[in-house]
Amino acid sequence: MKYKIKEKSSIQGEIKISGSKNATLPLISAALLTKEKVMLYNVPLISDVLNMIRILDSLGIFVSYQYQHQILTIQAKHMKKKVLSAYVGKLRASYYLMGALATRKKTFQICYPGGCNLGQRPINLHLDAFHAYGIKYEEDEEGLHFKTTKRQNTEIHFPVVSVGATINAILVGVKTLGVTHLTNVAIEPEVIDVIECLNQMGANIRFLEERSIEIQGVKKLHGVTYSVMFDRIEAGSYLLLASSLPESKLTLQGVDSTKMASVLEVLSQMGNQFQTIDKAITIVSPKELSNVCVTTGPYPMFPTDLQPQLTTVLLRGMEKSTIIEGIYTKRFSHVEELKKLGARLDKEENQLEIYPSVLHGGDLNVHDLRCGFALIIASVMSKENCTIDQVEYILRGYEDITDKLKKIGIEFVKLS
Ligand code: EPU
């Protein structure tokens, strides 16, 4: 899918931020821990969610998505034990099905999860956690084959902070009898959202210290109606878009700014100003943008999922900025694309130096979801029109992007 986009001089308007992709996907798996009905509200219409629904459907699970109202109803009375749908390979979050199936089936099989190409993305921490619970697995060309005789409560210390492995360990722990301790866990707001929902379903999960969780296993979970948190990465992407042009004014509705402290701090250092009223945040961008030095890392640090977008905006800085990518050392697919437009960027290993640049037009290719939004920002900043190919990646995680951009004066027009 190829789109064209026109340069702009400033951005004005208001949009509503959608439900979080990275909370919705594990919440869908959490819904499989009970045979009762789970209703999720604020579920975004994005292709990662649709693919997850297709996988559930292939497992014989009842699933109904009223996308006009963003309500997803799931009832997993029964489910098959072979997850062989081709959609598993289309998104990384399909790994959450492992955690859910491990609590429902003594044996099951699943093919390898996919996802954005951000360099090597192993699942060893997930598999080590399953192993600690007594879940054995074997691998072959078809995927992973799991077998459990008896799950046991355990203690897991994660050597690396991992969102996915933390959530998978929680999914298994909630229905494993006895007390399980997890340490060095991820504390991203999306992890907290999943914990909140599971506790409402009857789980008993609590924080002992900041990165330490205790789970008292329960026999049964019940159904729930739960509203998914807002997408802080979508919100951050639009705030960065607004700051890419001088004297823009953009209001985002449906945002809890307390969950975006590191992002707002960096945007403030760049000279942006904010006003927050209830769940609305308004950004006013500066005429001249200040340089920053940012390292991405686990929450509460600056998120890696906003690094490509931040890199792009900093091209309009007055001086050189530096970004160190602390999570995915190969998440730089945007760099070569930005250079096509005249961006001056120097990359050494996981460190990027960003120099003030004037961007011209060009034909761009998206390589992953966040790279895609970065290229939208670059096109808006450039002095000529741009085309963007492989927009499919962007549709994986940004709901209603064409309409939202239109609302703030940006024409993102489909060519093919
Ligand atoms: N890691 C391992 N082994 C593992 C798992 C992770 O070495 O088994 C490493 C990774 O390679 C990475 C680090 O641990 O260097 C952290 O990765 P993490 O496990 O936290 O990533 P994830 O859970 O697979 C989620 C989001 C990503 C987001 C990261 C970091 C979902 C579906 N994905 O991935 O989102 O970048 O956390 O916050 O929640 C995106 O939305 O664009 C996206 C890539």
| Closest C-alpha residue for ligand 1 atom 16 | 162
pLDDT by residue (tens digit) across 385-409?
Answer: 999 999 999 999 999 999 999 999 9
Q: What are phi and psi of 224, to 5 degrees?
A: -160, 160
pLDDT by residue (tens digit) across 211-230?
Answer: 999 999 999 999 999 999 99
pLDDT by residue (tens digit) across 295-330?
Answer: 999 999 999 999 999 999 999 999 999 999 999 999
| Closest C-alpha residue for ligand 1 atom 18 | 162
For residue 370, the ligand 1 atom closest to its alpha carbon is 42
In this predicted structure, what is the pLDDT of residue 383? Answer: 85
For residue 121, the ligand 1 atom closest to its alpha carbon is 11
Q: Is residue 113 over pLDDT 90?
A: no
In this predicted structure, what is the pLDDT of residue 121? Answer: 65
Quick one: average pLDDT of 147-160? Answer: 95
| Predicted confidence band of residue 118 (pLDDT cuts 50, 70, 90) | low
The CA R_g of the chain, rounded to the nearest whole Å, is 21
| Predicted confidence band of residue 117 (pLDDT cuts 50, 70, 90) | low
Separation of 32 CA from ligand 1 center, angstroms? 22
| Closest C-alpha residue for ligand 1 atom 8 | 123
- Report which DSSP code applies to 228: P
For residue 190, the ligand 1 atom closest to its alpha carbon is 39
| Closest C-alpha residue for ligand 1 atom 40 | 305
Separation of 164 CA from ligand 1 center, angstroms? 6
Count other Cβ atoms within 10 Å, centred on residue 293.
11
Quick one: average pLDDT of 375-391? Answer: 95
Separation of 216 CA from ligand 1 center, angstroms? 26
Q: Is residue 49 over pLDDT 90?
A: yes
Mean pLDDT of the chain: 95
Mutate to test the pocket of ligand 1, among 120, 163, 185, 396 (most ligand atoms within 8 A of CB): 163
- Site residues for ligand 1, CB cut-off 6 Å: 22, 25, 92-93, 116, 121-126, 160, 162-165, 186, 233, 303-305, 327-328, 369-370, 397
Separation of 275 CA from ligand 1 center, angstroms? 31
In this predicted structure, what is the pLDDT of residue 284? Answer: 98
Q: Is residue 1 over pLDDT 80?
A: yes
Q: What is the pTM of this model?
A: 0.97
Task: Enumerate long-range contacts of 258-266, CB under 8 Å, 24 or more apart.
Answer: 259/189, 259/229, 259/232, 260/232, 260/235, 260/236, 261/300, 262/299, 262/300, 262/301, 262/302, 262/303, 263/232, 263/236, 263/239, 263/302, 263/303, 263/306, 264/239, 266/292, 266/294, 266/302, 266/310
Mutate to test the pocket of ligand 1, among 160, 301, 333 (most ligand atoms within 8 A of CB): 160
Short-list 201, 292, 283, CA closest to 245? 283
What's the one-letter identity of residue 159?
A: P
Separation of 361 CA from ligand 1 center, angstroms? 33
For residue 328, the ligand 1 atom closest to its alpha carbon is 15
- Kindly list the catalytic residues: 116
For residue 124, the ligand 1 atom closest to its alpha carbon is 8
pLDDT by residue (tens digit) across 82-108?
Answer: 998 889 988 999 999 999 999 999 999
In this predicted structure, what is the pLDDT of residue 145? Answer: 95
Q: Is residue 370 over pLDDT 80?
A: yes
Mutate to test the pocket of ligand 1, among 51, 162, 366 (most ligand atoms within 8 A of CB): 162
Q: Is residue 281 over pLDDT 70?
A: yes
In this predicted structure, what is the pLDDT of residue 328? Answer: 94
Separation of 87 CA from ligand 1 center, angstroms? 19
| Closest C-alpha residue for ligand 1 atom 23 | 164
| Closest C-alpha residue for ligand 1 atom 10 | 121
| CB 90, CB 59: distance < 8 Å | no
For 87, 135, 172, 176, 291, the CA distances from 106, given in Å and listed in that order, are 23, 9, 13, 13, 55
Query: What is the bridge-based pairing of β-strands 249-253 and 212-216?
Result: unpaired
Separation of 118 CA from ligand 1 center, angstroms? 10
